[in-house]
Structure 1
Amino acid sequence: MKLNNSVPIGSDNLLARMAPEIAATFSPAQIQALQAALTPRRHAINIRLSVPLGITRVYLVLLAGTEGRSESRRRHEAAQHPLWTPINLLVIASTMGLGIFALLAMLQITNADLPAVFNPKAAPAGIPFKADRTSCEESGRTWQEGDCLDFGHDPTF
């Protein structure tokens, strides 16, 4: 629990902030339950981001770790916070769409002929020792207007 941007409150600190006559009414079992409830959890994955979104910011939290909640608590929380709400579906679909778009963009970049993209002035090289169409095309080159052309050559050659 946090109050006014202060440090997290443990059970001892919480009892110290209460009126002494109220703090004295807690049994040892209640104090132990307070300690268990107020102990900060350590998650294996704990990502917290503040993401700018237009004129506002969105707080994004991703926590993951071993499950320590009871079955009844999980059922209760699932009923209170259902996964399949319209906004959750929108976020899931958007995330999947952006992931697919990024994957397709990476595939497009890896399949592109980058020297041709970044150096459009490179011209094909004529191969003089390939005098006929068959031998030219068998070597993976292009036969065009009576010449054997190599479009995949290094322009600095």
Structure 2
Amino acid sequence: MNKPQYTASTFEQLFAEIAPEVANTFTVEQLEAIKRGFVSRGRIRHPLDIRVSVPIPGLRFYLVLLAGSERRSKLRLRSEKGLYPFWTPANILFLIGFLIILSACGYTIFSFALSSLTPISASYYPASIPWIDDKSECEYTSRVWHDGKCWDSEHSPNF
């Protein structure tokens, strides 16, 4: 029996995995029905579809994040819950790492935002200027010479 040429790559991938002795038992009508099932199913793009390979030396690692409206039936959801459990050791480690990174980023951003909102003190405090040790140089820079030191009366603590 000749196998028909199909263009649906998903169908071709599935058909290639079927043992030849089983694949040869399908009738043309059965193969056409299966092909129509694959074509009608189609792949609907998710509103959020991120697929990246993560370049970790020595590891072949990828990450997929999909999100969209739930279209699976309750029966399928129940069966997939058993096939793909959420609370696995790898998932738990990933979530802990993600939460640590998220917390560190949040703390950094919050600290930066808070420090930029804190008003700078407008108070000035007198301070001696250690590199000026001459009365004439001190007075030339509009500072006050007192007790053998040059004093700056407008020194800001934010300096």
Q: Give TM-score scaled by structure 1 length.
A: 0.58
What is residue 76 of structure 1 aligned with on the other side? 79
Please, which of 34, 46, 51 is the counterpart of residue 38 of structure 2? 34
Aligned-pair CA distance for 1:144: 4.7
Residues in 2 aligned to 1:28 and 1:55: alpha-carbon distance in whole angstroms? 44
Deviations 1:79-100 (A, max 9, x none): 1111111110110110111011
Residues in 1 aligned to 2:57 and 2:157: alpha-carbon distance in whole angstroms? 46
User: Unaligned regions of 5+ residues in structure 1, if any?
Assistant: 1-6, 114-136
Residues in 2 aligned to 1:152 and 1:67: alpha-carbon distance in whole angstroms? 55
Deviations 1:76-129 (A, max 9, x none): 00111111111101101101110111122233444568xxxxxxxxxxxxxxxx
Please, which of 89, 93, 98 is the counterpart of residue 95 of structure 1? 98
Residues in 2 aligned to 1:86 and 1:22: alpha-carbon distance in whole angstroms? 42
Q: CA RMSD in A?
A: 3.6
Answer whether contact 2:49 2:67 (CA < 8 A) is retained: yes
Residues in 1 aligned to 2:32 and 2:60: alpha-carbon distance in whole angstroms? 43
Letter in 2 for 1:80: L
Aligned-pair CA distance for 1:32: 3.5
Please, which of 133, 137, 142 is the counterpart of residue 125 of structure 2? 142
Percent identity between matched residues is 24
Q: Which moved more, 1:93-102 or 1:23-32?
A: 23-32
- SS of the residue corresponding to residue 62 of structure 2 reads strand
Residues in 1 aligned to 2:89 and 2:70: alpha-carbon distance in whole angstroms? 26
Q: Label 1:109 to 1:40 Cα distance change in 2 as closer, same or farther (>3 A).
A: same
Deviations 1:3-52 (A, max 9, x none): xxxx86155x78xx998983514187655433234x22311111001112
Aligned-pair CA distance for 1:66: 1.4
Residues in 2 aligned to 1:148 and 1:71: alpha-carbon distance in whole angstroms? 73
What is residue 107 of structure 1 aligned with on the other side? 110
Q: Give TM-score scaled by structure 2 length.
A: 0.57
Which has the bigger relative contact order, CA under 8 A and spacing at least 6?
2
Structure index of larger Rg: 2
- SS of the residue corresponding to residue 26 of structure 1 reads helix
Q: Label 1:54 to 1:102 Cα distance change in 2 as closer, same or farther (>3 A).
A: farther
The alignment of Structure 1 onto Structure 2 pairs a total of residues equal to: 120
